[in-house]
Structure formats: C-alpha cells, structure tokens
Structure 1
Amino acid sequence: MLLLLAMALSVAFGARQVGLAEIIAAVSGRVETLGDAAVASRIPRTLLALLAGAALAISGGVMQGLTRNPLADPGLLGVNAGAALAVVMGIAWFRIDDLAHYIWFALGGAALAAVGVYAIASVARGGATPLRLALAGAAVTAALSSLTTAIILPRGDIGGLVQSWLVGGVGGATYAQILPILPFLLAGLVISLLAARKLNLLALGDDTAAGLGEKVALARALSAIGAVLLCAPVTAACGPIGFVGLVVPHACRLLAGGDYRWLLPFSALGGAILLTLSDVLGRLIARPDELDVGIVTAFIGAPVFIWIVRRRKVGAL
C-alpha cells in the first residue's frame, strides 16, 4: 500500500499541478496537453526511483550481512565512490557518453573499490573486523572522492554536467536510461537472494559457518558480486546516492527480523518507497525548482547514521 501511494504521489506532484484526468490520460498513452506531458515524463522517473531504491537497499543489506557491520552501505564502504570515479574517468579521458558504457566503468570501479577496502581492512591482525571495514571504507571514500574532484576541476567542458550527476538524482529519467540497467539489476537480485541463506550462516561467525558446511570464501564472493551488480548500474544511471542502503535494512529488521531470506525482499520494498518519497519531497520543498534526491536522502540518513554510531552494541546486527 505504501509503495502504491509513493508511486501515485510521484506521478501526481511536481513543478506543474495536474489533475486526475491528466494522470489517467498519460498512463493510458494519450499525451494531448501540457499536463499530460508532465505526467508522462514523471512515469519513467518514478520507475527509476523504484528500481534504484530497491537495488541500493538490497545492496546495503547484503553488505551489512557480508561484513557483519551495521554501518555497511555502498556509500560508506567506498563502492559508490569507486563507481563514480570510474565513470568520471571514462567521461574525461575516454570520452564515453553512453549509459551502456557508463555501466561497465561503474562495475569495474565499484569492484576494485570493494576489493581495496576489504584488503586494507584485512592487513592488521585479526582480519577485517566491522570497525576496520568502516574506517577503511571512510578513508577510501575520501581518497576516491578527492581524485574525482581533481579530475573534474580542470575540465570546464564536463564540469557542470558531472558535478550535477555526482549529487545523485533521478530527474530527467527516460526509458532509454532504464532499459540498459535492468539485466544487471536482475542478475544482482537473483544472486543476492540466492546468497540470503549464506548470509544467515555468516552472521553466526566464520568458524561456525564453516563448521556447518558453508564455504565462507565462496559465500563472501557471491554476496559481494550480487551487491556490486545492484549498486554500480544505479550509480551509473543516477549518480552516487547515499544512505539508502544504510537506513532501509535497519528499519526493515524491525519488521522482518534478522533472517536475510525475509530481510532482503522487505528491504527492496522499503528502499523503493524511501527513494520515491524522497524524490517527491525534493520536488515539493523547492517548488517550482527541485532538490536532487541524493540531497534529501543525505538529510534523512545522516541522523540515522549518527544514532547507529552512538549505540553501544554497534558491532552486533
């Protein structure tokens, strides 16, 4: 019901006020007035917000289970920053201008960033603990973001476009923007759902999981692949959007508990709802202009992040 309400609000509200007749006309494919055209342009925007929110939330839930770290999130572990840096490098140095190419650059950058964060956190004795992963992720995110800025600053020809993209948003979405990311999101969803049982075992600890017959290294690799396949295409299409993967899994644990076979589907719904409503809120706050959804989710997610950090049992899921 919340998802349907969020979709209805996303189609109905924006810079132009529209009525029910215009909404029905646009949904049925008839675009005869400016109101009809406004609604028609909001439909792909709504679909992209739904897909991006669901993908980021599942990716965050998988990362939290993979690292046993309640602070894990594509934005906080450097995955978003790696994908963004790779896309910016592709635009600046290789002159790519097609979303299909953005996706491959984003996948490579996200994967390298994830491997780098895990490697840095694993250097010290005791391996990649939740605290070390969070610190390594913060350091890598800062470094990659600085590199991204260094590439953009001397390039006045791409600076405005790239900086707008780096904020993170779903404005101006088209079906041509959505179709290329669908195969990657579907593959990431399937892999993540298949890894749900493995994440339940990993939550017990590596030794316990291995004692129960789970191949820990394979489980981690499979989960990481699923998370990257969900996060990177969304970053390529929308820019880096933070905090969705952090906030939503925590909220959904109150409803679904800690079983990832339930938590991941709930997170998909929760992420779609959160990002769609955040997009609507961004349109209404600055009307007739709008705030990009990445700014709105940051305002929502930052207090939740602080609350999680202040909890005493921050190391436990």
Structure 2
Amino acid sequence: MQRSNARFVERLPLVLDRPAYAYGLTLLFSGAALLLRIAAEPLLPNGYPFVTFFPAVILSSFLFGIGPGIFAAIFCGLLSWYVFIAPFYSFVMNPAVAVAMLFYIGVVAVDIMLIHFMQRANFHLAVERERSRALAENRELLFHELQHRVSNNLQVVAAMLALQRRHVDHDVARKALDDASARLALVGRISRALYDPSGKGQDIRGFLTALSADVLEASGRTDIDVAVTAPHGLAIEPSVTVPLALIVAESVSNAIEHGLPDRPGKVAVMLEEVEGALALRIVDDGHGVAPDFQHDSSESLGLRIANALAAQLGGRFSLTPGANGGAVARLDLPARTAC
C-alpha cells in the first residue's frame, strides 16, 4: 500500500499532456467549493469567505501543478470576493476587503509554493530511483556474466586437465590430474550455484542437499544413501559457503571412496547451529579409520585441503573413528560465519 501511494505521488502533477482537462477539473473543484460554501452559510459565523475555497486551491495544485493551482487561486478568490464579502455581488474595494484579499493571497501563495517544491522533490526522487534501479540491473547483469565466465573458465580448465590425463602413463600422476580436474569442476559448479548479486547468504540446507547429490552422482555409485540435515532457513555468508562446500565435497568423496569402496552404505551430512557457531559432521558407516589416526599428518591431499580451508575460516577440521564404526569428519566454525 505504501509503495502504491509512493508511485502515485511520483506521478504528480497529473495530465500534463492534456492541460484542458486539468483546468476543467479545476473549475469543477472551484464550483464545488462555491456550492459547499453556500450550503454551509447558515452554519458559519460572520466572515470566513474563503473557508471552502482553500481546499480547492490545494487540491488543484497538488493534482495538476502550479498553473492550475494559480488559476484556482484567482478564480476562487474572485468568487469569494464577489459572493461572500460585503458589499455582496460586487467588486468594491475598501480597506477591509484589501486586508482580507491580502490574507487570502498570502495563504494560497504559500500553499501553492510548498506543493510545487514538494512535487519537484518527488520528481527528482523518482528520477534517482529509476537511475538506481537501472544501475542495480546493470550490476546484476555484469555479476551474472562474471560468475558465468568464471564458472565456464573453471570447467574449461578441468576439461583440459582431463584431456591431459590421456597422455600421462604414470598412475600417481593420472590420479592427481583426475583429482584436480574433479575439484576444479566442483568449484565451477559451486560458483554457478552460488550466484547471488545481492550478497545475501545462501540457504545452506538446500545447497548442501544439491551438493551431496552432485558428489554422489560424480562418484558413479548408486548404492550409497546420502542424507542431509540442517536448520531450516539457515543462511551462510557467501565468503564461507565455497570453502564449506569444498570441505563437504571432500569429506563425502572420502567416505565413498575409502570408507565404502566395495559395499553399500550410508553417509549423513549434519549441520548444527549453537549460539551462532556452526558444527558440521559427515558420518559414514564404512570401514572407518584407525583409533590412532592423525589427520594433521596424513599424506592425503583431500585432508590437507580440508585442514587448510578450515584454518582459512578460523575453524577446526578433524577426522575420527565413529562410535559405532565408520568415520566422522567434523568441522567447527565460529559464530561470525552464520548470517
């Protein structure tokens, strides 16, 4: 309702391209003011010749601009002088009439000027709002194009690494190229999914669900059940979402590849918020890790990446044996990461 009223005010004065309508309606307002003053004559004390004409002048100025407003002021002033100021039905000038008319002229002049300046301010405000809207659309378009190009470039680099793999005979090198290609492709997909020029946080529940399904599809496994639980409506800062998504992808991939390489199983991705701090757990029911496993000293590139990303976010990453078997990858983040 407020927005609709604001748009109406910005369109004032009305019918600028058809001034005859504006002046015709001004005459109508003036006639209505005259009839209302005549009808109110028995109820009013002596004097008050202009009481019903002020609204007609204000309404004409507000709706149609300064020209019809001045016209209404002159016409209403003459009507009130002729009909309601003694000697009636004449334009006799005397000191009392002069004082009354000067009072009327001062009041309507102030009204018209205030309305005129208000409409000019509204006009400039509407122009600035339209300019801001155009700039916002351009920003969104440029941001979308930038995100699109970055994502495409990452996908191209991933494809080039995959092609280069065909010319490498060493198994370790081929595995490294495979991992690098997969990670670049994943970053490209994340970048595309996180497109949001407004800078608002990402709804993490839906995003993690889509990300986990993407990682599972990329693994080629159909016998793994991945479930995601997260607070409904929880949003994460854009600068945090990409590192968090990479850690989730690495942990889910690690659970599928090392924890469940040869049998069906389940992987649970659980995100909890406690007093603004975030706790992420990726739990699987696979082979698990040794009780004395030290993830900090592991040679796994994925674990080293996860540790580095956690440190970048000011958090801590760990990989420990599960209480009932399997493994638990845990990431603890400070309170500032939640929106």
How would you bin the TM-score normalised by the shorter chain? under 0.3
Greater RCO structure (CA 8 Å; 6+ sep): 1
Q: Which has the higher strand share?
A: 2
TM-score, length of structure 1 as denominator length: 0.26
TM-score, length of structure 2 as denominator length: 0.25
Higher radius of gyration, 1 or 2:
2
Q: Which has the higher helix share?
A: 1
